[in-house]
């Protein structure tokens, strides 16, 4: 692990903010590191409000999108809401179809089959629309690169509205409206929305047109918060507002589908981390193992008894997904070791029998293991399909773009992407991609980094600090839970390895004469000998609260020690 201490921000800025907010310089430092330098910025950060959301009509083509939908409704046209099969897509489809159906009945949904149709807008989906009399398709979380598909639909007299958040190509499709804050010609103030977030802005614009207020849309925010967590977008600006209020809905009055997924959990209050690791994998499992329609059915069901039946089926899909994920990860690791490829700059593996639904998860597992940009391929029809995952600060999308001569199609973000290619191009692509990564990646990026916000003493940790840190939530990219470094601490003799395979470390630490704190290090069981016999160590950690038998205590969640 590379330990990197963030540069200290300007002392004048920190001092001024600490005085203005009446907080410690430590809290002010953490805020300035996050780009929060004024009282007003701090107010928005600590007290985000729905009034902080931007006017949806600031997004290019929003007026065209609303006008086309209103025209469809006034003429009684059939509207098809089309979205991808992952969490962002299925929540977006559930949001848009749910809102439109609240006042218009000629609305249906379409999720492409992961195995038969693949990612994004499909010819099969357009043919379905044509065969069933749909004249308007609203595409969510996809479509920005579907030039040929949308031209095909246009020839059939079907209009498209695209709500996407992926980077556009050189050319835009011929849609009636293209809502994408990443468009070069779009001056919308915030460009980090997820697909469901862009869909929500369209719903917000439609609601304004119908004299509804933002308060009328709060019940939909559980879907938006779930998508924000699952899609790993920055928890800043609008995303922070939407995530905060969406989490409140999840924790107080979630829709029956989400309630059915979480009602057996022992946790009283769910965080964005719980959304990422508990809710999102279950919603994703539907599209991975069976069909994304199962997720939309769950998320749009209003009867709790029926939702519980859907949730039980999805729970089974998730269990199947875990088994497949474990087996394929094992096979992929064996392939890498056998070919002695673990020391390269990028990992690319392929097996025609791997389940397409879990290759993205396997790519993440391999990235965690070897800490290399990783692509996992499998056979899909007459082509190969793949999922790619990157390491911190390396743009895998750019690397794919620069080796795209061998690809049929690709799309995605800096840290995750998907692609297809012809089988005969696999080895040429693999070589080109690995050379591109070797040429462009800084060697430091191949060593996992722990980015440390501040060095503190254990004596600096008190109830007020913990209370203020809790107000930094929800955490996520660009607003991660603060990481602290404390030097020269000793275990008080309680250190032990715990867990089935003794993979975790539990200890109780002190620094000089400080108050002691319990600490837990997940995956750090192998470091037991480094802290035994009260050897002094430096530790990096999050400050956490541990609830046990109704008692809440402060604990350190260790990331590393040395």
pLDDT, position 17: 96
Cα-Cα-Cα-Cα dihedral sign, residues 209, 210, 211, 214: negative
| 440 falls within a domain | yes
pLDDT band at residue 411 under the 50/70/90 scheme: confident
Distance of CA 419 to the CA centre of its chain: 19
pLDDT band at residue 444 under the 50/70/90 scheme: very high
Q: Is the pLDDT of residue 267 over 80?
A: no
What are the tokens at 523? 């995956």
pLDDT, position 533: 80
What are the tokens at 121? 């807008």
Q: Is the pLDDT of residue 548 over 90?
A: no
Do 498 and 556 sit in the same domain of this protein?
A: yes
CA–CA distance, 231 with 88 (Å, rounded to integer):
6
Do 305 and 397 sit in the same domain of this protein?
A: no
Supply the DSSP string of 225-291, one letter for each residue.
Answer: HHHHHHTT---SHHHHHHHHHHHHHHHHS--HHHHHHHTT-S-SS--HHHIIIIIHHHHHHIIIII-
Q: Is the pLDDT of residue 266 over 80?
A: no
* Chosen domain end from 424, 446, 468: 446
- pTM score, whole prediction: 0.89
Do 426 and 527 sit in the same domain of this protein?
A: no
Strands 347-350 and 374-380: parallel
Name the β-bridge partners of 453: none
pLDDT, position 339: 84
- Cβ atoms of 484 and 540 within 8 Å: the answer is yes
CA–CA distance, 368 with 12 (Å, rounded to integer):
39
CA–CA distance, 556 with 469 (Å, rounded to integer):
13
pLDDT, position 14: 96
pLDDT, position 159: 98
Q: Is the pLDDT of residue 268 over 80?
A: no
Using CB atoms within 10 Å of the CB of residue 548, give its burial: 0 to 12 exposed, 13 to 18 middle, 19+ buried: exposed
Do 236 and 92 sit in the same domain of this protein?
A: yes
Query: Among residues 254, 299, 265, which one has the least CA distance to residue 87?
Result: 299
Query: Among residues 324, 241, 252, 262, which one has the least CA distance to residue 290?
Result: 324
DSSP conformational letter for 476: B
CA–CA distance, 500 with 462 (Å, rounded to integer):
33
pLDDT, position 511: 92
- Cβ atoms of 449 and 4 within 8 Å: the answer is yes
474 prior amide bond cis, ω within 30: yes
H/E run at residue 28: helix 25-33
pLDDT digits (tens, 9 = 90+) for 203-228: 999 999 999 999 999 999 999 999 99
pLDDT, position 365: 93
| 320 falls within a domain | no
Strands 134-140 and 78-83: parallel
* Chosen domain end from 446, 465, 491: 446
Strands 107-110 and 159-163: unpaired
H/E run at residue 534: none
Domain that includes residue 245, residue range: 56-312
Do 375 and 468 sit in the same domain of this protein?
A: no
Cα-Cα-Cα-Cα dihedral sign, residues 423, 428, 430, 436: negative
Q: Is 402 helix (H, G, I), strand (E, B) or coil?
A: coil
* Chosen domain end from 446, 467, 498: 446
Q: Is the pLDDT of residue 462 over 80?
A: yes
Do 299 and 258 sit in the same domain of this protein?
A: yes
Q: Is the pLDDT of residue 333 over 80?
A: yes
| 362 falls within a domain | yes
pLDDT band at residue 443 under the 50/70/90 scheme: very high
pLDDT, position 494: 86
Do 12 and 96 sit in the same domain of this protein?
A: no
| 322 falls within a domain | no
DSSP conformational letter for 215: G
Residues 6+ apart with CB under 8 A from 443: none
pLDDT band at residue 515 under the 50/70/90 scheme: confident
CATH number of the domain where residue 260 is located: 3.90.1640.30
H/E run at residue 524: none
| 488 falls within a domain | yes
| 333 falls within a domain | no
CATH number of the domain where residue 392 is located: 3.10.310.30
Do 198 and 304 sit in the same domain of this protein?
A: yes
Phi and psi at 334, nearest 5°, equal: -60, -40
Do 132 and 257 sit in the same domain of this protein?
A: yes
pLDDT, position 412: 79
Mean pLDDT across the stretch 389-396? 93
Mean pLDDT across the stretch 139-145? 95
pLDDT band at residue 342 under the 50/70/90 scheme: confident
Share of the chain above pLDDT 70, in %: 100
pLDDT band at residue 247 under the 50/70/90 scheme: very high
In the numeric block, the tokens 């946790």 are attached to 267
Lowest mean pLDDT among 111-115, 128-132, 238-242: 111-115
Average pLDDT of the chain is 93
CA–CA distance, 440 with 543 (Å, rounded to integer):
36
Do 144 and 178 sit in the same domain of this protein?
A: yes
Domains contained in the chain, number: 3
CA–CA distance, 541 with 242 (Å, rounded to integer):
28
Q: Where are the alpha helices (DSSP H) in 36-86?
A: 39-46, 62-75
In the numeric block, the tokens 């639904």 are attached to 357
pLDDT, position 264: 80
pLDDT digits (tens, 9 = 90+) for 145-165: 999 999 999 999 999 999 999
Using CB atoms within 10 Å of the CB of residue 135, give its burial: 0 to 12 exposed, 13 to 18 middle, 19+ buried: middle
| 324 falls within a domain | no
Mean pLDDT across the stretch 396-420? 90
Q: Using H for helix, E for strand and C for coil, what is the string for 417-460?
A: EEEEECHHHHHHHHHHHHHHHHHHCCHHHHCCEEEECEECCHHH
Lowest mean pLDDT among 18-22, 171-175, 499-503, 529-533: 529-533
Q: Is 491 helix (H, G, I), strand (E, B) or coil?
A: strand
Share of the chain above pLDDT 90, in %: 80
| 101 falls within a domain | yes
CATH number of the domain where residue 461 is located: 2.40.50.460
Query: Among residues 171, 147, 82, 119, which one has the least CA distance to residue 410?
Result: 119
Distances (CA, A) of 436 to 274, 345, 346: 36, 9, 9
CA–CA distance, 380 with 42 (Å, rounded to integer):
49
Do 418 and 457 sit in the same domain of this protein?
A: no
Rg (CA), the chain: 25
Mean pLDDT across the stretch 381-391? 93
Do 152 and 283 sit in the same domain of this protein?
A: yes
DSSP conformational letter for 27: H
pLDDT, position 157: 97
């Amino acid at each position: 692990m590379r330990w990197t201490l963030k540069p200290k921000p300007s002392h004048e800025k920190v001092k001024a903010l600490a005085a203005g907010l009446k907080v410690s310089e430590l809290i002010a430092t953490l805020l300035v590191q996050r780009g929060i330098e004024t009282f007003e910025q701090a107010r928005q950060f600590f007290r985000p409000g729905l009034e902080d959301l931007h006017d949806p009509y600031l997004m290019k083509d929003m007026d065209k999108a609303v006008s086309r939908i209103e025209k469809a409704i006034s003429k009684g046209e059939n509207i098809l809401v089309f979205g991808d099969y992952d969490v962002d897509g299925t929540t977006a489809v559930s949001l848009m179809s749910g809102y439109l159906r609240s006042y218009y009945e000629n609305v249906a949904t379409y999720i492409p089959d992961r195995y038969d149709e693949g990612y994004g807008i499909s010819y099969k989906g357009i043919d379905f629309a044509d065969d069933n009399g749909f004249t308007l398709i609203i595409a969510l979380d996809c479509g920005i690169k579907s030039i040929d598909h949308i031209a095909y639909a246009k020839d059939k007299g079907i209009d498209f509205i695209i709500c996407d958040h992926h980077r556009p190509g050189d050319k835009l499709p011929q849609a009636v409206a293209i809502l994408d804050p990443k468009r070069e010609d779009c001056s919308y103030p915030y460009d980090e929305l997820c697909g469901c977030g862009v869909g929500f802005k369209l719903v917000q614009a439609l609601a304004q047109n119908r004299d509804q207020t933002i308060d009328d849309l709060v019940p939909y925010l559980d879907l938006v918060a779930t998508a924000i967590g699952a899609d790993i977008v920055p928890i800043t600006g609008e995303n922070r507002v939407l995530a905060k209020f969406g989490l409140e809905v999840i924790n107080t009055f979630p829709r029956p589908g989400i309630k059915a997924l979480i009602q057996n959990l022992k946790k009283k209050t769910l965080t964005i981390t719980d959304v990422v690791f508990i809710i999102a994998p279950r919603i994703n499992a539907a599209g991975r193992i069976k069909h994304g329609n199962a997720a939309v059915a769950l998320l749009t069901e209003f009867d709790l008894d029926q939702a519980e039946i859907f949730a039980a089926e999805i729970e089974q899909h998730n269990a199947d997904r875990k088994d497949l994920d474990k087996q394929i990860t094992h096979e992929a690791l064996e392939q890498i070791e056998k070919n002695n490829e673990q020391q390269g700059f990028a990992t690319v593996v392929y097996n025609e029998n791997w389940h397409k639904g879990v290759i993205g998860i396997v790519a993440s597992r391999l990235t965690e293991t070897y800490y290399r940009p990783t692509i996992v391929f499998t056979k899909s029809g007459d082509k190969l399909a793949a999922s790619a995952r990157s390491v911190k600060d390396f743009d895998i999308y750019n690397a794919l773009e620069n080796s795209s001569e061998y690809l049929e199609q690709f799309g995605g973000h800096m840290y995750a992407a998907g692609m297809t290619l012809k089988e005969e191009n696999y080895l040429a692509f693999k070589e080109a991609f690995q050379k591109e990564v070797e040429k462009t990646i800084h060697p430091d990026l191949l060593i996992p980094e722990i980015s440390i916000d501040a060095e503190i003493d254990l004596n600096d940790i008190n109830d007020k600090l913990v209370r203020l840190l809790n107000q930094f939530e929800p955490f996520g990219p660009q607003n991660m839970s603060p990481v602290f470094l404390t030097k020269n601490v000793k275990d008080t003799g309680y250190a032990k390895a715990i867990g089935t395979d003794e993979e975790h470390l539990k200890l109780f630490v002190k620094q000089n004469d400080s108050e002691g704190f319990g600490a837990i290090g997940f995956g750090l069981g192998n470091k037991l000998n480094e802290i035994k016999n009260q050897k002094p160590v430096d530790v990096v950690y999050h400050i956490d609260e541990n609830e046990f038998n109704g008692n809440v205590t402060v604990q350190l969640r260790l990331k590393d020690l040395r």
